[in-house]
Chains A and B, each alone.
Chain A
Amino acid sequence: GAGVSQSPSNKVTEKGKDVELRCDPISGHTALYWYRQRLGQGLEFLIYFQGNSAPDKSGLPSDRFSAERTGESVSTLTIQRTQQEDSAVYLCASSLFLETDTQYFGPGTRLTVL
């Protein structure tokens, strides 16, 4: 079936605006992850969902970042009052509950904050 999809693929916004990034995981994958990749840096873990619950939010960099998941499916990462340092590629991944070693990644959303 279809892989993990993310939208939009690219987003340019002005500093101070809010943005929403969407992730559609593989159907049936109960685990969902958000990562951030800033230029020249490794992937940073942001948040992990098991079903609609987020047992690990340890990576969210500030209270401007939030995420939710509904129907054990689509997830939205929201960044409020964007700052230039938020510019990055935001990657989403999903996996089966008992196979969390095998994370399937989406193509990412490239966010540019001017």
Chain B
Amino acid sequence: KQEVTQIPAALSVPEGENLVLNCSFTDSAIYNLQWFRQDPGKGLTSLLLIQSSQREQTSGRLNASLDKSSGRSTLYIAASQPGDSATYLCAVRQSLQSISNFGNEKLTFGTGTRLTIIP
């Protein structure tokens, strides 16, 4: 059974600093990995999606890396801003070879990192 862990559970940094959020998963046979952002009272917003064949993806100040063999992903946020304050979740989707039935669309989520950017 896939397990996804995120460390730390909470992080506070001053505005302007660069930061890294970590995600680890136990089953390396993944199809892809996504990073989401969750704001209070709102749904999840997908930030970056990395296919299993890719090493990283970039969008603006965000960069996500994937090391499938070691079961790790990082989300790097450059020049943090107060508006970046949110909970960040990573989620993996299993590859077809590691499941026995239709339904690989299921995402397994980590517990999240609650990020606070201090103005």
Contact = CB atoms under 8 A, between A and B. Distances in A.
Interface of A: 3-4, 9, 31, 33, 35, 40-45, 48, 55-56, 58-59, 91, 93, 95, 100-108
4 tightest Cβ-Cβ pairs between the two chains A and B:
A56-B103, A105-B43, A43-B109, A105-B44
Nearest to B108: A45
Contacts, number: 61
| Interface majority SS (helix, strand, loop, mixed), chain B | strand
Nearest to B6: A42
B89 interface: yes
A43 B93 contact: no
Nearest to A54: B103
20 contacts: A35-B109, A40-B111, A41-B111, A42-B109, A42-B112, A43-B107, A45-B106, A55-B101, A55-B102, A56-B106, A58-B103, A93-B44, A95-B105, A100-B105, A101-B32, A102-B49, A103-B46, A104-B43, A107-B42, A107-B43
B106 A48 contact: yes
Contact of A55 (B44, B49, B103, B110): B103
Most B Cβ at <10 Å: residue of A3, A43, A100: A43
Contacts of A42: 4, 89, 109-112
A56 B55 CA distance: 30
Most A Cβ at <10 Å: residue of B106, B108, B110, B111: B106
Nearest to B34: A101
A91 B43 contact: yes
A63 B105 CA distance: 23
B107 A45 contact: yes
Nearest to B102: A55
A41 B108 CA distance: 12
Contacts of B112: 42
B19 to A, nearest CB: 20
Given A48-B103, A95-B105, A108-B43, 19 more contacts: A31-B105, A33-B105, A35-B109, A41-B111, A42-B89, A42-B110, A43-B89, A43-B91, A56-B103, A56-B105, A58-B103, A101-B34, A101-B93, A103-B107, A104-B43, A105-B43, A105-B45, A107-B41, A108-B41
